Amino acid sequence: MKIHHFLIAVCVLLISNPSIAKAESLLMMPEPPAHILVNNRILAKVNGKAISVVDVMKKMDILFYREFPQYTSSSQARYQFYQANWKHVLQELVDKELMMADAEENKLPMTSGDVRQEMERLFGPNIIGNLDKIGMSFDEAWKIVQGDIIIHRMLYIRVNSKAMRTVTPQEVRSFYEQYAASNVSPDEWIYQVITVRNKDSGIGAEAANITHHLLTEESVALTDIPKKISEHPTVGKNSKVSISEEYHHNDKEVSPAYKEVLAQMGSSTYSLPIAQKSRNDNTTVFRLFYLKEKIQGGIPSFDEVEAKIKDRLLENAVVAESKTYLKKLRKHFDVQETVPEDFQPFSIK
């Protein structure tokens, strides 16, 4: 799994938050001129550093610009985005400050070139112009981006590297055995049914045999059979041939009577005619089966699912390691959260 997938799993970045879709659904709505009012106050303190409503808003501005750059001038869209995501972003910033404190304590190296490269990736070559669109200064954006890079590196050191060591070949094989036992796929049949009808069952049987001969010995196309039978000099009168659609059925979807016939056939073959009672009028009809393909079921091979299993185990390990890491940081550094229960940081007029 790529490292950025780990980071998404740990930080639960807003791009994976369903509320973004809610915000996006409102972007196309026409809006009257509006202004967002910010009820600024301190929301939390981490290791002596305060996190305010404005800090949360600026982080959301970068996220909003990254996802919806064409709507940066829409106050209504941005307000909806703020309302849906501010609590989540606050918790992300608390965790971020904890990891920043850990990085500072351990003197994690950082160069200005790393930050500049990421700034250009986020905002393009015209950094200043694009920052103006969201009302953010270069220094403010620089600090946020620098912090994000530090967090990514701390997560790799403290979380991802440990998680990767826990996903051993033995763990993958053990998980595969459990996975395979609960993911047995049934056989699948791809087939068509040719039905021959005639009020006289004797003539109907003969018409069915002629149908089989035309298909297997003379290689007549299946789509041409109804016309061939209707024009046949001895069985054509009152004989009707119908061809079903192509069915894709698994073991549970195929009737026992049909499966009994299909199980004895090979791919791209026709069965001998079989007399059956019609459900509609209880008359005798004759059916032939064309088995296009049988897809063998069973358990998925280890090679087929190995990568998927590794990804799942890594995701689980990252989540577990991140919880442990953040729990240790909260014990090591002082954290105070001071958000009133009914607090509303944003309003719009």
Q: Mean pLDDT across the stretch 180-201? A: 91
pTM comes to: 0.57
Q: How many CA atoms does the CB half-sphere of 330 hold within 13 Å?
A: 12
CATH class of 3-174+303-348: mainly alpha
The answer to whether 245 and 194 are in contact (CB under 8 A) is no
Q: How many CA atoms does the CB half-sphere of 101 hold within 13 Å?
A: 22
Q: Is 156 helix (H, G, I), strand (E, B) or coil?
A: helix
- Please state, rounded to an integer, the average pLDDT across all residues of the chain: 87
The answer to whether 54 and 40 are in contact (CB under 8 A) is yes
- Please tell me the predicted confidence (pLDDT) of residue 23: 47
- How many beta carbons lie within 10 A of that of residue 320, not counting itself? 14
The answer to whether 47 and 306 are in contact (CB under 8 A) is no
- High-pLDDT (> 90) share of the chain, %: 61
Looking at the structure, give the CATH architecture of the domain made up of residues 188-295: Roll (3.10)
Separation between Cα atoms, residue 238 and residue 251, nearest integer Å:
35
Separation between Cα atoms, residue 303 and residue 331, nearest integer Å:
43
Using left for φ > 0, alpha for ψ between -120 and 50, and beta otherwise, residue 48 falls in: left
The answer to whether 64 and 72 are in contact (CB under 8 A) is yes
Angle at 119 between CA 117 and CA 36, to 5 degrees: 175
Q: Mean pLDDT across the stretch 248-253? A: 90
Using left for φ > 0, alpha for ψ between -120 and 50, and beta otherwise, residue 19 falls in: alpha
Using left for φ > 0, alpha for ψ between -120 and 50, and beta otherwise, residue 261 falls in: alpha
- Please tell me the predicted confidence (pLDDT) of residue 2: 38
- Please tell me the predicted confidence (pLDDT) of residue 33: 62
Q: Band of the pLDDT at 73, cuts 50, 70, 90?
A: confident
- Please tell me the predicted confidence (pLDDT) of residue 296: 87
Q: Name the residue ranges covered by the structural domains of the chain.
A: 3-174+303-348, 188-295
The answer to whether 61 and 77 are in contact (CB under 8 A) is no
Checking if the pLDDT of 319 tops 90, the result is yes
Lowest pLDDT segment from 35-39, 132-136, 262-266, 330-334: 132-136
Q: Band of the pLDDT at 136, cuts 50, 70, 90?
A: confident
Alpha helices in the chain (DSSP H): 3-11, 18-25, 53-67, 75-105, 112-123, 127-133, 138-155, 161-166, 169-181, 201-216, 225-230, 256-262, 302-332
Checking if the pLDDT of 6 tops 50, the result is no
Residue 18 contacts by C-beta under 8 Å, 6 or more apart in sequence? none
